[in-house]
Amino acid sequence: MESRRTSTAKVDRFPKIQPGRTAPLKVGARASSGAAAGSDPIPPAPAIPNIPAALLGDIRSLFLDSGYASALEQRSSRASKEQTGADPRLGPLKRLFAGARTLRMQEAACAVAPLELRALIEAGLLEQQGDQVRARYQLQVYDGLLFIVDFMPLQHPPEIVLPIGPSGRYLASVTSRKGVRSALDLGCGCGIQALLLARHAESVTATDINPRAVALTRINACLNGISNVEILEGSYFEPVRGRTFDLIVANLPYVITPENRYTYRDLGRGDDVPIRQNVQQMEAHLNEGGYAHLLLNWIHQENEPWWQPVDQWLEKCRAEAWLFHSSSMGPEEYARRWILIDGKAHPEEFEAVKKKWMEWYRAQHIERIAFGLITLRRSEARDHWRCFLNVNQVLHEGLGDYIQSLFEIQDYLSQFKRWAELAPQRLARWNITIKTSEPNVQEAQTIKGYLLRMRVGPVSRAAINRLDGKISLTQAIRRSAQEAGLDSPALREQVTREIYQLMNLGMIGPSQGAGT
């Protein structure tokens, strides 16, 4: 695991941190599949439902009262099994609106009761096929909210609106839920971020270039009884030109390919310039102290640190930044990932598409493509720090407050020119536990947020246990070193340096702050 910091002021560079043995953090793949070339013509997307407001309220009641919403939010397979005594409508509703199965008219009528089956067909939510009926849209659930979204068959039109998938859930998890006056959801899709923002923002603006996404977000806001969301159509920041917000979240197209096929995925040009432009424009649309979260891919070269291109993007930005890097791939692995997600499973077609992509990557001199998340905070300060962290695994989904605590600790560290100046300060344990991973090997590890690990010595461990905000770091280190019979200036310096590294990882912070 590597953490680095740069700044417009002169500061120490973070040293390398002991890698954590973790599984990959899957944030890049979207819940989608593509059409196969040479196959049957792709059917058009279903027409946008025309659902009266009163009927939307009845639909919400149906999916809540039948147990559909709570059943879909269950995570474990055991919990998701239908239980004895469950509402008899639950099974048919799941097959219809989650499984894309057809039902006989009579069974469907019983499943949607007390709603009239004919009303749902006329509204465009269901489609009759002889004596059977199928759903034209799926019904997803996230954090108590209901979403009418497109199904994603292997063959689908480019304007389809992506269902809620790993990227959307990850972006939701990194967003702080502290109250704000105004928020912007850039690239709203089905509206998941906008509707979550509406719970803690006085007003929310949602934008998307896809008219279909705009329409479904509007429907989903009404479905959930949410009225403080303004929904605008347009590209990137165009619909909100000249406006600023306290919070911005963005799940924009970020896949770097030679194609411009899918509205929800492809950048529209071959390189990462649109991503760079969006990152650089964020601070102009933030109020002072406002935060922005953006999922992104970016290009870096084989012999270039993964963080360096984004660091250069931010040199003139009036913002502090944390860049969280989950992985980097070579062009062949990257192409394979997205071609397979596109549903191009036939060997001949797969190889033909991959060859086209690889030729393009070579022509563009693209050697590595990185996946990650950037969080910016607008600041008029003279100097702006930027931190870059390699992460692999999330301990729990609520990352918003954790990321803000990382900003708070860096603000605190910015007052010191070097790590040795921490010695007289009173520090406290914020987000740390220490475990013995191997005989005589002790690792500090985060308790919440991203799973981060760093090896520490026995005196450091003892000093960390003494950090309660009541004594100085010097006192904690001296007492621990004397207790071990190892006190020396060199040891005290080593322990202070380790504590400084742990602060950069958000494990230790000032005595007064978010972690105490």
Range from 52-66, 75-89, 358-372, 500-514 carrying the lowest mean pLDDT: 75-89
Distance, in Å, from the CA atom of 63 to the CA atom of 20, rounded to the nearest integer, reads 42
pLDDT tens profile 256-294: 888 777 666 766 666 788 889 999 999 999 999 999 999
Residue 318: DSSP 8-state: S
Range from 190-194, 223-227, 344-348, 464-468 carrying the lowest mean pLDDT: 344-348
Label residue 205 by pLDDT band (50, 70, 90).
very high
Return the pLDDT at 409.
Answer: 96
Angle at Cα 52 formed by Cα 47 and Cα 54, nearest 5°?
145
In the chain, % of residues over pLDDT 70: 86
Only one residue has tokens 């549903």, namely 343
Distance, in Å, from the CA atom of 184 to the CA atom of 180, rounded to the nearest integer, reads 11
Return the pLDDT at 12.
Answer: 34
Distance, in Å, from the CA atom of 290 to the CA atom of 183, rounded to the nearest integer, reads 9
Distance, in Å, from the CA atom of 492 to the CA atom of 471, rounded to the nearest integer, reads 16
Label residue 95 by pLDDT band (50, 70, 90).
very high
Return the pLDDT at 83.
Answer: 56
- Given a cut of 80, is residue 27 above it in pLDDT? no
Region of residue 343 (left: phi > 0; alpha: psi -120 to 50; beta: else): left
**Where is pLDDT greater, at 436 or 135?**
135
- For residue 249, CA distances in Å to 168, 178, 193, 339, 459 come to 10, 14, 7, 27, 42
pTM, full prediction: 0.89
Residue type, 57: G
Domain ranges of the chain: 53-136, 175-392, 419-510
Distance, in Å, from the CA atom of 133 to the CA atom of 96, rounded to the nearest integer, reads 9
**Where is pLDDT greater, at 378 or 488?**
378
pLDDT tens profile 287-308: 999 999 999 999 999 999 999 9
Structure token pair of residue 274: 């649109």
Label residue 18 by pLDDT band (50, 70, 90).
very low
Label residue 76 by pLDDT band (50, 70, 90).
very low
Return the pLDDT at 272.
Answer: 86
Label residue 343 by pLDDT band (50, 70, 90).
low
**Where is pLDDT greater, at 67 or 259?**
67
**Where is pLDDT greater, at 5 or 422?**
422
Label residue 420 by pLDDT band (50, 70, 90).
confident
Pairing of the two strands 132-135 and 126-129: antiparallel
Q: What are phi and psi of 335, to 5 degrees?
A: -60, -45
β partners of residue 232: 207
**Average pLDDT score over the chain:** 87
Q: What are phi and psi of 128, to 5 degrees?
A: -85, 135
- For residue 154, CA distances in Å to 36, 262, 339, 345, 508 come to 8, 13, 12, 10, 48
Return the pLDDT at 201.
Answer: 98
- Given a cut of 60, is residue 514 above it in pLDDT? no
The residues, any chain, with a CB within 8 Å of residue 285's CB and separated by 6 or more, are 184, 237, 240, 243, 244, 245, 248, 292
Range from 204-213, 322-331, 365-374, 478-487 carrying the lowest mean pLDDT: 478-487
Label residue 80 by pLDDT band (50, 70, 90).
very low
**Where is pLDDT greater, at 360 or 155?**
360
Return the pLDDT at 269.
Answer: 63
- Given a cut of 50, is residue 419 above it in pLDDT? yes
Return the pLDDT at 353.
Answer: 86
Distance, in Å, from the CA atom of 258 to the CA atom of 255, rounded to the nearest integer, reads 10
Structure token pair of residue 100: 């894309």
**Where is pLDDT greater, at 194 or 395?**
194
Average pLDDT, stretch 321-334? 95
**Where is pLDDT greater, at 163 or 156?**
163
Is the domain spanning 175-392 CATH 3.40.50.150? The answer is yes
Structure token pair of residue 190: 């089905």
Return the pLDDT at 14.
Answer: 37
pLDDT tens profile 173-194: 999 999 999 999 999 999 999 9
